[in-house]
Chain A
Amino acid sequence: MNQAAINLIVFAALVAIIWLVSKLILSRNILHSKEQKHKTLTEDILKQLFHVQQSNRIATISNLSGALKIRKAKILPMVVQMTKAGLIETVDDTILLTEEGKAYGLKIIRIHRLWEKYLAEKTGYKAAEWHYLAEKMEHQLNEKEILELSDTLGNPLFDPHGDPIPTQEGDIAPVEWIPLPTYPLNMPGKIAHIEDEPGVIYQQILAKRILVGSHIKVISSNKNEIIISSEGQKHIFSPIVAANISIVPLSKNEAYEERAERLSSLQENQWAEVLGISKECRGANRRRLLDLGILQGTKIKVDLASPLRDPIAYRVRNTSIALRNSLADLILIKKLNADENT
């Protein structure tokens, strides 16, 4: 065979090997010690047990194995060890958390949610990636690091999905959410929580650009589909997807804005008034918008569209500011009629 062909094949093989090895190292945690793996599994079991008890279900070895996707033979010795360590106790077939186990589980949930909050506020990771990254991080932080993390985030009460974050002392804010399928028709409410598991359904919700904090009204609801109106748009959900979205009614000092729409929907030659910036616009981007004077009550209009219609320049306080559509999506406005624009 030609020398050049051999060279090319050797090169291709080298690239393939490097790619495979890096993939393997990243996915299999080959670099993790045995102790680390043991700790991770323990904590995953505790967290799962905590969730199960919260929803008043019963945990057995077989449904633990199902939920964690781990063989029973591997879970059994874990249960024995964890019982010895005083984290769990078994009554007949049911596995229960001890007080100590419950506190430990809460701590893991605290790290998970704090880390999701951190990812949302301080990094550019996409919402779909938060859960996976937090799953890894929750096994790695020590007490001091957790405190520092919480401090830098300003000791937040809720994670970006709307879940309450347990405090240092293990208190957890109570939530009164109503799943979307059972939320009453035409009652103004806001999205309180979007469940990020399973990922497939979460992706579908994200694709509709539904945001935590958005005001909604349910227009129609039956066993085939649920239709809501939110921020000038209608969204149709299947009941399975809708079950992962939770709503709370608006409180007394929150007014439902019937005319709320997103800035990205503003047409040329039309004035609008900013109602606010969505809660999902966070960190540096939120600060930048505020600094530029885009805040509640600000008058705004389309100044100029770029050739590809993204970004679009808006006129704000006599200045032309270009924003990408993805950011303009997070600014809520009320379109003004000709007579309102004075």
Chain B
Amino acid sequence: MTSQHKKDSIAALANRLRWNIGDNFHDKLTEGIYADAADIASRAVHQQGEPRNATMDSKIDSIVTSKTWGFPIMIGILAVILWLTIEGANVPSGLLFNLLIDTMYPILKGFSSQLGIAWWIDGLLIDGVYLALAWVIAVMLPPMAIFFPLFTLLEDFGYLPRVAFNMDALFKKSGAHGKQALTMSMGFGCNAAGVIATRIIDSPRERLIAIITNNFSLCNGRWPTQILIAVIFIGVLVPDSMSGLVASASVISIALLGIGFMFLTSLGLSKTVLKGEVSTFTLELPPYRPPRVWQTIYTSLIDRTLIVLWRAIVFAAPAGAVIWLVSNIEIADISIANHLIEWLNPFGLFIGLNGVILLAYIVAIPANEIVIPTILMLTVANLKMAGLGEGSGVMFELDSAMETSNILSAGGWTLLTGVNLMLFSLLHNPCSTTIYTIYKETKSWKWTTVASILPVIMGFVVTFLVAQVWRLFL
């Protein structure tokens, strides 16, 4: 008998039998298995007295999921984690900066000039590749090394499922899963990590929504940009005593706007392309378990921080080379960068940005962290400002916000440019690390493209509208 015959005869019998037993085979089989399970368990399990620890769990639960305290506790914890991350990262970031850029970079430069290495090799490798790597490490590593362990401790303790439980009612309204509250929060740390974290969502439709909308969480790499621009452009609008507060408030508004866009996009996706996909929701609330602090810190450093950092480094190295090359290769006596800036400028200005910003977002796709230094370098190079910056293709940042502000004003920036840059920093394509991660998680070019293109389109539309309305009334 051939294998085809075997298949046909067995399949035919299966079909006939299926017809006989009706459409509830799965129900009956599960009932049978559970009946055996109950039988076996009753013989093996002995309960002595009342369980004690369960009351402890339910006490914690009655507080963290209560009507009064549920949401405040949750928002409080997230705020504290973000504050610790942003504030706490300053010191180690400064140290790394000192080491890698202020100390190592001149040493490397001196070393290469002593060896007499050709200027373009030196430029490409040290000014381009090394500087981009150093920048990404200095700015990216400390916040992640703080954020991930803190988040992981909450995860190990068992608090995070309660957050999903509390938030589900809100997320359900936009067709999403309560666990998206967690992947979204993770996105405030790093979008690539947020995308990986969507694995906890067991319904494929909701998981896809969480992946596509994770980019609307303002990630660590974008907070510094937001804060700098808010201080320079919005903080100065009010008296000095108020400026810090107003600048912070405007950054928080941008983050909240991001959450708004996340809900809107989730709703939009569920009503259009994902309409009709099966949706399931069951959520186990596991018992609280004391986290093992040291192991958690160790493992979260290894499998979240370092993996994400490694991916960022892999992408940042070639980007550093590209940034240097476009600034140093000249066509008709003008660098490629300046050609591109001129070419992008009309569209940039039309939507209330400029050519420098657009080019910076194109070449700095590996990491949002290097957007501001790239912008500064391109602005100075474009204006041929003497005595400022480090030379063409060399990213830099300035110690004082005033100096930065002067450069940007010279580059023609207005309050509108600042506001739109903040909006565009929220609404643009994910960084290449995140795009790559989205592809690895979805295994689909289609969804990777949607997740990458959709935010840029939204960014263009929003900055366009803001610019036109601005010009209409101001």
Contact = CB atoms under 8 A, between A and B. Distances in A.
Please say whether the chains A and B touch (CB closer than 8 A): yes
Interface of A: 2-5, 7-8, 11, 119, 122-125, 129, 151, 154-156, 277, 283-293, 295-296, 303-311, 313, 319-324, 327
B166 A306 contact: yes
B280 interface: yes
A310 B169 contact: yes
Contacts of B277: 123-124
B248 interface: no
A322 B469 contact: no
B285 A313 contact: yes
19 contacts: A3-B471, A4-B472, A7-B350, A154-B23, A284-B280, A287-B26, A290-B27, A296-B31, A304-B58, A306-B70, A307-B66, A307-B71, A308-B170, A311-B165, A311-B169, A311-B281, A313-B285, A321-B285, A323-B282
B34 interface: yes
B15 interface: yes
B50 interface: no
Nearest to A292: B282
B168 A311 contact: yes
Interface string B252-292: 00000000000000000000000111111111111000000
B278 A304 contact: no
Contacts of B65: 304-307
A304 B70 contact: no
Interface of B: 15, 18-19, 23, 26-27, 30-31, 34, 58, 61-62, 65-67, 70-71, 165-166, 168-170, 172, 178, 203, 205, 275-286, 350, 464-465, 467-472
A7 B281 contact: no
A156 B469 contact: no
Contact of B30 (A284, A295, A304, A327): A295
Contacts of B279: 124
B276 A304 contact: no
A306 to B, nearest CB: 5
Given A290-B30, A295-B34, A306-B65, A155 B169 contact: no
A320 B26 CA distance: 23
Contacts of B470: 4
Nearest to B41: A317
A307 B67 contact: yes
A277 B281 CA distance: 16
Contact of B168 (A7, A129, A322): A322
B280 A285 contact: yes
A122 to B, nearest CB: 7
Contacts of A310: 168-169, 172
A3 B27 CA distance: 67
Contacts of A290: 26-27, 30
B278 A284 contact: yes
B280 A320 contact: no
A307 B30 contact: no
Contacts of A7: 350, 464, 468
A2 to B, nearest CB: 6
Contacts of A154: 18, 23
A304 B61 contact: yes
A159 B19 CA distance: 15
Contact of A156 (B23, B166, B275, B286): B23
Contacts of A129: 276
A320 B62 CA distance: 13
Nearest to A311: B168
Contacts of B278: 122-124, 283-285
Contact of B15 (A8, A123, A151, A285): A151
Contact of A320 (B71, B284, B469): B284
Given A122-B278, A308-B166, A311-B283, 12 more contacts: A2-B472, A3-B471, A8-B465, A124-B276, A296-B31, A306-B165, A308-B169, A311-B168, A311-B178, A322-B282, A323-B282, A327-B282
Q: Which of A3, A292, A313 has the most CB of B within 10 A?
A: A313
A4 B282 contact: no
A11 B462 CA distance: 12
B348 to A, nearest CB: 15
B469 A8 contact: yes
A155 B19 contact: yes
Contacts of B27: 277, 286, 290, 295
Given A123-B276, A125-B276, A313 B26 contact: no
Contacts of B464: 7, 11
Contacts of B66: 307
Nearest to A293: B34
The 9 closest A-B pairs by CB, nearest first: A308-B169, A4-B471, A320-B285, A307-B70, A322-B283, A290-B30, A4-B468, A125-B276, A4-B472
Given A290-B27, A322-B283, A2 B15 contact: no
Contacts of B178: 311
Nearest to B471: A4
Contacts of B71: 307
A113 to B, nearest CB: 14
A296 B34 CA distance: 10
